[in-house]
């Protein structure tokens, strides 16, 4: 038997490939075929995304705009500002398992007949004697309107978000913090609800806007940016918009939620012109942030509406502005920890660790003044806590509680989930 196998292998080596080489070639061919199929799947998904946008209809504008259609998104490009008055794309559940990394291939958009902005609108690149490059920036980020991470399932779609037509001058703390938080929030909604969401994004191009003085095209600096999120499914149609100032925003994203109708009045655009009147009213007239799944921790909640709290009471989002003052903060205890070693108790209100926005500290001596265990008896309840607000080492506001009387269970309607 061994002789037969030796003869077969020898004959294969003389007249062609060995069995091992044949299988390796088959595997290589299968991998190439798999790449071809994946590329075709990507192309079809991109086409489907664009078809969905076209089916819903592009925003109608009273001003002439150049309509640019890329592989999976579209925009109404304002040639006067060299920025879009609107961008339109759909975020699909594929982002849950997409792993395409940033391409950083910033480039001029040749599709814009009137010309897009370019690198020299944001900084000057200089080559050093050692061959490296230094950058002389103008103080603004090349802020994505359609975020690249929304297309982390598609190398083509992600790369196309780096066209300069998809950029606006954004202050660094806005682009990297406040705006990025809203972008991540949208992806979190898609991942949680496992459905397509339609997103419209752009700067507000009106008013007496300042200029990026060293910009080669004298780009205007938007004071505001908006992002509209819409669920156009038959089961749960709804919509809301974020309107945010181009700076580090003081509050959480929910504070900046407005109705789509209000944005239409501000911009003059009709965002969903093909919707029937009743559905359009339902989606565009109301802006209920709580109607969306936005929390990664199921126990977390949004801060209470500050306008609905009695005079002298503040929500956890307002606590940061009360540092150094003695006041009453209201929120839900969503996480609690008791340290057996130090005998200290830590309670987080509304948002749990590591995203906490307000905390209570009850040290060993203060805990002795309690007739109950705070970490057990207060968990899941809305409470009102009175004391001096201070910042911890991470900059999170909180109150140190020394006695039981500082905490009261909030029995009003606000305690309802």
Taking only the tens place, the pLDDT of each residue in 70-123 is 999 999 999 999 999 999 999 999 988 888 988 999 999 999 999 999 999 999
Under the banding of pLDDT at 50, 70 and 90, the label for residue 12 is low
- 348 closest CA partner among 396, 394, 290, 402: 396
Q: Domains, the chain, ranges and CATH?
A: 42-291 (3.40.570.10), 306-415 (2.40.50.140)
What's the whole-number mean pLDDT along residues 242-251? 93
CA dist., res. 360 & res. 36, Å (int): 56
Q: In the predicted model, what is the mean pLDDT of residues 354-371?
A: 91
What pLDDT shows up at residue 293?
81
Give 321 or 82, the one with higher predicted confidence.
Answer: 82
pLDDT of residue 415: 43
- pLDDT at 416 exceeding the cut of 50: no
Tell me the two tokens of residue 136.
């002389």
Left (φ > 0), alpha (ψ -120 to 50) or beta: where does 412 sit? beta
Q: Dmax over Cα atoms in the chain, in whole Å?
A: 96
Express the helix, strand and coil content of the chain in percent, nearest 5 each: 35, 25, 40
* Residues in Cβ contact with 354 at an 8 Å cutoff, skipping those fewer than 6 apart: none
pLDDT digits (tens, 9 = 90+) for 177-236: 899 999 999 998 998 889 999 999 999 999 899 999 999 999 999 999 999 999 999 899
Per the prediction, the chain carries an average pLDDT of 90
Q: Output the pLDDT for position 414.
A: 47
Q: Is the pLDDT of residue 11 over 70?
A: no
Residue 60 has pLDDT above 90, yes or no: yes
SS3 172: helix
Residue 139: how many other CB atoms lie within 10 Å: 13
Query: 308 φ, ψ to 5°?
Result: -95, -5
Q: Which residues are paired to 361 by β-bridges? A: 346, 400
Between 294 and 257, where is the model more confident?
257
- The verdict on whether omega for the bond into residue 345 sits within 30 degrees of 0, i.e. cis, is no
* Residue 284 confidence (pLDDT) above 50: yes
- Full-model pTM: 0.77
User: DSSP labels for 17-57?
Assistant: --HHHHHHHHHHHHHHHHHHHHHHHHHHHHHHHHHHHHHH-
Average pLDDT of the segment spanning 315-320: 89
pLDDT value, residue 2 = 52
Q: What is the per-residue pLDDT across 123-158, written as a single tens digit (0 to 9) for each?
A: 999 988 888 888 899 999 999 999 999 999 999 999
State residue 242's pLDDT score: 97
Mean pLDDT is lowest, of 52-61, 73-82, 240-249, 345-354, for 345-354
The residue-averaged pLDDT of 37-66 equals 94
Q: What percent of the chain has pLDDT over 70?
A: 94
Check if the beta carbon of residue 81 is closer than 8 Å to that of residue 220: yes
Report the DSSP pairing between strands 359-362 and 397-400.
parallel
β-pair type (83-91, 197-203): antiparallel
Apex 249 CA angle, 393 and 396, nearest 5: 15
Mean pLDDT, residues 302-310? 84
């Amino acid at each position: 038997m061994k002789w037969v196998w030796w003869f077969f292998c020898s004959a294969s080596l003389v007249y062609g490939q060995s069995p091992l080489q044949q299988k390796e070639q088959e595997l290589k061919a299968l991998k190439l075929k798999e790449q071809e199929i994946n590329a075709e799947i990507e192309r079809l998904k991109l086409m489907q995304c664009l078809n969905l946008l076209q089916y819903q209809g592009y925003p109608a504008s009273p001003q002439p705009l150049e309509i640019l259609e890329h592989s999976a998104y579209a925009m109404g490009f304002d040639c006067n500002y060299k920025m879009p008055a609107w961008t339109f794309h759909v975020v699909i559940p594929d982002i849950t398992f997409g792993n395409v990394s940033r391409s950083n291939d910033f480039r001029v958009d040749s599709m814009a007949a009137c010309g897009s902005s370019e690198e020299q609108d944001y900084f000057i690149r200089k080559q050093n004697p050692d061959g490296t490059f230094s950058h002389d920036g103008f103080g603004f980020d090349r802020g994505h309107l359609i975020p690249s991470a929304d297309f982390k399932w598609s190398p083509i779609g992600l790369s196309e978000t780096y066209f300069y037509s998809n950029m606006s001058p954004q202050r660094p703390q806005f682009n990297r913090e406040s705006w990025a938080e809203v972008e991540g929030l949208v992806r979190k909604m898609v991942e949680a609800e496992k459905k397509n969401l339609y997103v419209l994004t752009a700067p507000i191009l009106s008013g007496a806007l300042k200029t990026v003085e060293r910009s080669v095209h004298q780009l205007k600096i938007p004071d505001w940016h908006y992002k509209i999120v819409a669920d156009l499914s038959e089961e749960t149609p709804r919509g809301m918009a974020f309107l945010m100032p181009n700076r580090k925003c003081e509050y959480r994203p929910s504070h900046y939620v407005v109705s789509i109708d209000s944005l239409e009045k501000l911009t003059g655009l009709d965002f969903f012109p093909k919707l029937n009147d009743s559905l359009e009213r339902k989606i565009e007239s109301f802006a209920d942030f709580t109607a969306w799944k936005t929390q990664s921790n199921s126990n977390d909640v949004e801060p209470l509406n500050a306008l609905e709290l009695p005079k002298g009471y503040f929500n956890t989002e307002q606590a940061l502005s009360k540092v150094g003052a003695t006041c009453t903060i209201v929120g839900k205890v969503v996480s609690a920890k008791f340290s057996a070693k130090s005998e200290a108790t830590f309670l987080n209100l509304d948002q749990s660790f590591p995203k906490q926005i307000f905390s209570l500290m009850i040290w060993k001596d203060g805990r002795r003044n309690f007739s109950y265990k705070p970490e057990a008896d207060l968990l899941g309840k809305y409470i009102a806590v009175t004391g001096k607000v201070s910042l911890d080492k991470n900059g999170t506001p909180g109150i140190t509680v020394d006695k039981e009387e500082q905490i009261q269970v909030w029995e009003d309607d606000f305690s309802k989930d």
